[in-house]
């Protein structure tokens, strides 16, 4: 099959590799895992994912609806700020509605009807490599910080969400934080039916102490008599997708600069936001140094400087790694560039183009 670049290539076998770790945690700890759609919403692979996960969690009405319609299992509906009409609508299909503040809970709990309610708590401790993504950063709006306010609101709640991690691969730091949270909120947690520990825990990474992690979750559930939820996003899809591009030109301005038919700003925006660079899966590494840049008019639309096995020329293929998490969900139409197609390598090895984008898609996104 000849595929036209650019395209995102999702590998279901790699996806299942991560999901088998999730299965192990679920089986040994009793915790449930709901996919964080804010990280990954490509529903063309939900059939495979639904065999290993308990449902989805959302950050908006539309994500929650997508989880119900395309994933078809448990739906946790959270938003930093709901409007009354959104709560009334999401309550028709959500299994839990989670509020970000006590004010939101009091304003909208009636609109949720009989749906179990949750509340996000900001414990003031967190783990993140970036201040931008730190949920407990100074003056954070994410979750309740007043313990007395939380205790007053507990009567209306069935559970609490503690989302305080971002790319946390340090089990000891996580274990310490959860111990502190357990002690600080013990009286409230004993009144709950469930606790969500949110996402951002890198427990599918190689050499992560999965057994110790599972034991910690099991002990936490036993201490408070609750159902534990995890909200993995990146942990599920890390290492499962590539952005496949073609070199359109090579220019020289003190260094060689290969321009590909994709864009950091439009197609891997998180790297621009956080000032990071993707890895190149192909060509392989070597001694030939080249800067790879995107084709938009933004001067800083640069994937990075790489040392490759050979020089790049027009027509060469370049594959960027980890193009799934917080990547496909942020794709945009900057400069009117065609969005990358979505391609899936199925479990049986067949390659399927599940979505292509054309001019009409670009036009419909505007007014």
Instruction: Kindly state whether residue 165 falls inside one of the protein's structural domains.
Output: yes
- Domains held by the chain: number: 2
Tell me: do 132 and 274 sit in the same domain: no
pLDDT in tens, 146-171: 999 999 999 999 999 999 999 999 99
Model confidence pLDDT, tens digit, residues 3-34: 999 999 999 999 999 999 999 999 999 999 99
Residue 1 lies in a domain: no
Residue 4 lies inside a defined structural domain of this protein: no
For the chain, the distance separating the N- and C-terminal CA atoms, rounded to the nearest angstrom, is 36
Task: Looking at the structure, tell me whether residues 229 and 258 fall in a common domain.
Answer: no
pTM: 0.95
| One domain, residues 192 and 295 | no
Considering the domain boundaries, does residue 7 fall inside one?
Answer: no
CATH code of the domain containing 59: 3.20.20.10
Domain with 197 in it: 13-237
Q: Would you give per-residue pLDDT tens digits along the chain (367 residues)?
A: 789 999 999 999 999 999 999 999 999 999 999 999 999 999 999 999 999 999 999 999 999 999 999 999 999 999 999 999 999 999 999 999 999 999 999 999 999 999 999 999 999 999 999 999 999 999 999 999 999 999 999 999 999 999 999 999 999 999 999 999 999 999 999 999 999 999 999 999 999 999 999 999 999 999 999 999 999 999 999 999 999 999 999 999 999 999 999 999 999 999 999 999 999 999 999 999 999 999 999 999 999 999 999 999 999 999 999 999 999 999 999 999 999 999 999 999 999 999 999 999 999 999 8
User: Is position 142 within any domain?
Assistant: yes
Q: Are 133 and 258 part of one and the same domain?
A: no
């Amino acid at each position: 099959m000849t595929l036209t670049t650019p395209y995102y290539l999702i590998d279901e076998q790699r996806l299942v590799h991560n999901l088998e770790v999730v299965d192990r945690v679920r089986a040994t700890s009793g915790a449930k895992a709901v996919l964080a759609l804010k990280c990954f919403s490509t529903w063309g692979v939900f059939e495979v994912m639904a065999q290993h996960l308990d449902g989805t969690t959302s950050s908006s009405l539309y994500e929650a609806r997508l989880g119900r319609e395309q994933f078809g299992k448990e739906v946790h509906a959270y938003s930093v700020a709901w409007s009354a009409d959104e709560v009334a609508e999401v309550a028709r299909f959500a299994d839990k509605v989670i509020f970000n503040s006590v004010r939101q809970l009091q304003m909208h709990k009636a609109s949720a009807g009989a749906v179990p309610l949750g509340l996000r708590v900001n414990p003031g401790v967190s783990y993140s490599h970036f201040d931008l993504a730190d949920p407990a950063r100074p003056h954070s709006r994410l979750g309740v910080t007043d313990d007395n306010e939380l205790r007053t609101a507990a009567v209306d709640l069935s559970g609490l969400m503690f989302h305080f991690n971002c790319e946390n691969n340090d089990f000891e730091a996580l274990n310490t934080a959860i111990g502190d949270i357990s002690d600080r909120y013990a009286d409230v947690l004993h009144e709950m039916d469930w606790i969500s520990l949110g996402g951002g825990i890198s427990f599918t990474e190689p050499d992560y102490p999965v057994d110790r992690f599972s034991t910690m979750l099991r002990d936490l559930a036993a201490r408070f008599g609750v159902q534990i939820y995890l909200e993995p996003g990146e942990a599920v899809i890390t290492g499962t997708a590539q952005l496949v591009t073609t070199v359109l030109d090579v220019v020289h301005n003190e260094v060689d600069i290969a321009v590909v038919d994709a864009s950091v700003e439009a197609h891997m925006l998180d790297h621009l936001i956080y000032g990071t660079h993707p890895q190149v899966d192909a060509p392989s590494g070597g001694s030939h140094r080249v800067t790879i840049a995107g084709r938009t008019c933004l001067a800083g639309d640069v994937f990075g400087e790489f040392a490759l096995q050979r020089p790049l020329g027009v027509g060469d293929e370049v594959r960027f790694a980890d193009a799934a998490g917080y990547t496909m969900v942020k794709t945009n139409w900057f400069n009117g560039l065609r969005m990358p197609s979505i391609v899936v390598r199925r479990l049986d090895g067949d390659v399927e183009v599940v979505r292509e984008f054309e001019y009409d898609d670009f036009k419909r996104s505007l007014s």
